Chain A
């Protein structure tokens, strides 16, 4: 007996071949995908490791830059000090007063800290003032005064070329710390808010400290006299807002004066 070959068998066999071909291709594709994924994971890990190393480097460099700036500013402040008869403590106190004023004025901690570091440079221009004037024991005559007053512009000229934030700030401080709120200051005769807030702050901090200290040409004033002057100069020499901040937070200022006496 001959059995006819069922047509179904050949159809199924052809399907089977197709199926094997397709599954082979699928298996190949899945294997490829897995390989790609594994390579990609490995590379991602390497890339992220490298990134972290780079980030750490950038951070270290950033820190280095900031430290260098601080050091430059501090050293220049020290040079300025060495040229004037004021003590290092004066510079320290002015720095601290400036920061307190800045914080109460609304600066964030970072900017206030920067001003603290920049304000010691306010008198850097004095390095270019002749010894004969700088060290004169008697009061200045008008000619001496004129030369002495150039220190603000001189300080600015020394620092203005820098594009570093801290040195730029120091340039502004040096330039504007003798401006007066009513426009009668020097060197530019700026008025009110034309004077940069850094200049207005350092002006008050500098005068407060200078009045309370002995100098070659004068004795220290007592507090009563200083406070009287500040009240009188509110809106004239000094920014009225800063004078209010000063009196509202007097304890903090006196504490610093005691600490750096």
Chain B
């Protein structure tokens, strides 16, 4: 399986998917069509866990600005991780700036909704 990197744009984050067990999203997320934009990432993640995932997978998400469909997409993404968590060691870092209240609240929402996932709030 190949690594996948998607460069950041004005409206989308940089996405870096590494078969050694590193998934990172960095930047802003308010694409015109959120679900189309994230489809390659979701496909990669599904295939990654279905084929030969690393012993431990670390997910780093540092999204400084996101629209509501991105929030929805992130829930879907965590759903996906939730489905495979029993067979994989996954740790998720939700990284945000101290002053970024909406990012903090979103992180809290994820923790509340995914009790069984290891999501940590990391203040920069």
Contact = CB atoms under 8 A, between A and B. Distances in A.
B113 A36 contact: no
Interface size grouping (class) on chain B: 10 to 19
A36 B71 contact: yes
Interface stretch (A37-45, A149-157, A237-245): A37-45
B77 interface: no
A16 interface: no
A77 B72 CA distance: 63
Contacts of A36: 68, 71-72, 75
B113 A32 contact: yes
A36 B102 CA distance: 11
Contact of A35 (B67, B101, B109): B109
Could you say which of A35, A36, A37 has the most chain B C-beta atoms within 10 Å of its C-beta? A36
Contacts of A42: 102
Interface of A is mostly: helix
B102 A43 contact: yes
A147 B67 CA distance: 68
Contacts of A33: 72
Contact of A40 (B71, B75, B101, B113): B71
B75 A32 contact: yes
Interface string B43-59: 00000000000000000
Contact of B105 (A28, A32, A37, A39): A39
Interface string B82-110: 00000000000000000001100110010
A32 B102 contact: no
Contacts of B71: 36, 39-40
A37 B68 contact: yes
Nearest to A40: B68
Contacts of A46: 101-102
Interface string A164-200: 0000000000000000000000000000000000000
Interface of B: 67-68, 71-72, 75, 101-102, 105-106, 109, 113
14 contacts: A28-B113, A32-B75, A35-B109, A36-B71, A36-B72, A36-B75, A37-B68, A39-B71, A39-B102, A39-B105, A39-B106, A39-B109, A42-B102, A46-B101
3 smallest A-B Cβ distances: which pairs? A40-B68, A36-B71, A43-B102
Given A36-B75, A39-B105, A46-B102, 8 more contacts: A32-B75, A33-B72, A35-B109, A39-B71, A40-B67, A40-B68, A42-B102, A46-B101
Interface of A: 28, 32-33, 35-37, 39-40, 42-43, 46
